[in-house]
Structure 1
Amino acid sequence: MSISLPIDPESVKGFLDPKEGEALYGAALEAGALGPCLEIGSYCGKSTVYFGAACQKAGSVLFALDHHRGSEENQVGWEHHDSELYDPETGLLNTLPLFRQTLRRAGLEDTVVPLVAPSTVAARGWATPLAMVFIDGGHAMEHALNDYRLWAPFVKPGGILAIHDVFPNPADGGRPPYEIYKMALASNFFEEISAVKSLRLLRRLGEVTS
């Protein structure tokens, strides 16, 4: 797919492969016509550039949900720690300043609504049906399960559930995203429509069971 983006996503810190980003853009462009979308796990905004640009083109809104303290694997002593994002006051990461910078650089502040909170807290008062939900948050089983169980039910029939870092082979990566992907398929309310590297795109067919 040939797409035009406001900035080069590779100039933004993050872990999304360009091919995955293009697939995310295509799905969001389609889904955005159905209503607002949600991203769980924005980090510094690499995926948000793809997702937000598509929503902007579709005339939709993207809610970008992240506590901006980094996932477990981003913390000190872990594989994906980035010392440039370390906040000595909390001992955790703080990705919010770079995320907001990304939105400004990309001209997406009229499309992307940052939600700075844990996924479980934001879900307490959520009532808006969503055209697309992209799960790319914490990879611990607890976090992945919460993201799926709390947010997948908001995907409208005909909408899209996207899950990142799905690795069928345990040697390639962590299991929780793969497990919630399998749960979504087993629910019989989602069908897979595309697989691009570790990104899975599923179509919502009806009500979701947990």
Structure 2
Amino acid sequence: MIPNLPDTINDIKGFLAEDEAEALYHHALDASHSGAVLEIGSYCGKSTIYLGLACQQNKATVFALDHHRGSEEHQIGEYFHDPDLYDDGEGKVDTFKEFRRNIRNARLEETVVPVVAGSEAAARQWQTPLAMVFIDGGHSLEAALTDYRCWTAHLLRGGILAIHDLFEDAHEGGQAPFAVYRMAKASGLFEDLGQINSLGLLRRL
């Protein structure tokens, strides 16, 4: 049971299974005693709400990083393209309006700080230590590697690294997040906490 979870949570656009959502919430609840949480790839805010509700209890902050132009698979002609999230005037995907609405409805505007930028640009002069990093951004190898390399250096000892959409079988999903997960496990910097569905969890040593 997650306190204050909106009744509309299952109506929010997103790709997060219930067991993954609960794992994110509980790890963020523990981690946010030590500091801020960073989410990379917020989309419409479904996972952000779970992280935000956890951080709200500890008066911590969730930095929700997303350029809100959609990943490769969200563009026109791609499998996960959603016409409702396409701005005809701009000629681009725009998920930010939907994201803001969902965060406002969840009463998390004082907990969630949107960072509307690309991962590399946001990380360039970042100074805030992070107690948890959730990587759920672009699924190209370049994007996944950038997220990992830019942000794990800011993760506190004992902090949680969570990586979403891990599929060992290429027929089930993209391989880039899984490659980054294997890289993290092989680095010697993390304790492997295992997987919940397609969510991999590690702890910074």
Under TM normalisation by the shorter chain, which class is it? over 0.9
The answer to whether residue 15 in structure 2 is matched with residue 11 in structure 1 is no
* Paired residues of 1:26 and 1:54 also in contact (CA < 8 A): yes
d(CA) in 2 for partners of 1:201 and 1:60? 21
What is the CA RMSD across the aligned residues, in angstroms? 0.9
The aligned amino acid for 1:102 is N
* Paired residues of 1:5 and 1:49 also in contact (CA < 8 A): no
The aligned amino acid for 1:92 is K
d(CA) in 1 for partners of 2:197 and 2:3? 21
Using the TM superposition, give the Cα deviation of residue 4 of structure 1 relative to its aligned residue in structure 2, in angstroms: 2.4
Hey, what does 2:124 align to over in structure 1? 124
Unaligned segments of structure 1, at least 5 residues: 206-210
* Paired residues of 1:167 and 1:198 also in contact (CA < 8 A): yes
Hey, what does 1:30 align to over in structure 2? 30
- The one-character-per-residue Cα deviations of 1:43-98 (angstroms, maximum 9, x if unpaired) are 00000110110011122100000000000100110000000000123322100011
The answer to whether residue 107 in structure 2 is matched with residue 107 in structure 1 is yes
* Paired residues of 1:31 and 1:159 also in contact (CA < 8 A): yes
Hey, what does 2:141 align to over in structure 1? 141
Hey, what does 2:157 align to over in structure 1? 157
Hey, what does 1:92 align to over in structure 2? 92
In the superposition, the TM-score normalised over structure 2's length comes to: 0.97
Hey, what does 2:195 align to over in structure 1? 195
In the superposition, the TM-score normalised over structure 1's length comes to: 0.95
Unaligned segments of structure 2, at least 5 residues: none
**Sequence identity of aligned pairs in percent?**
55
* Paired residues of 1:6 and 1:107 also in contact (CA < 8 A): no
Q: What secondary structure sits across from 2:69 in the alignment?
A: coil
- The one-character-per-residue Cα deviations of 1:142-201 (angstroms, maximum 9, x if unpaired) are 100000000011110000000000111222110000000001001110111131100011
Q: What secondary structure sits across from 1:171 in the alignment?
A: coil
Q: What secondary structure sits across from 2:33 in the alignment?
A: helix
The aligned amino acid for 1:53 is L
Give the length in aligned residue pairs: 204
d(CA) in 2 for partners of 1:5 and 1:134? 21
The answer to whether residue 62 in structure 2 is matched with residue 72 in structure 1 is no
d(CA) in 2 for partners of 1:47 and 1:82? 18
* Paired residues of 1:192 and 1:203 also in contact (CA < 8 A): yes
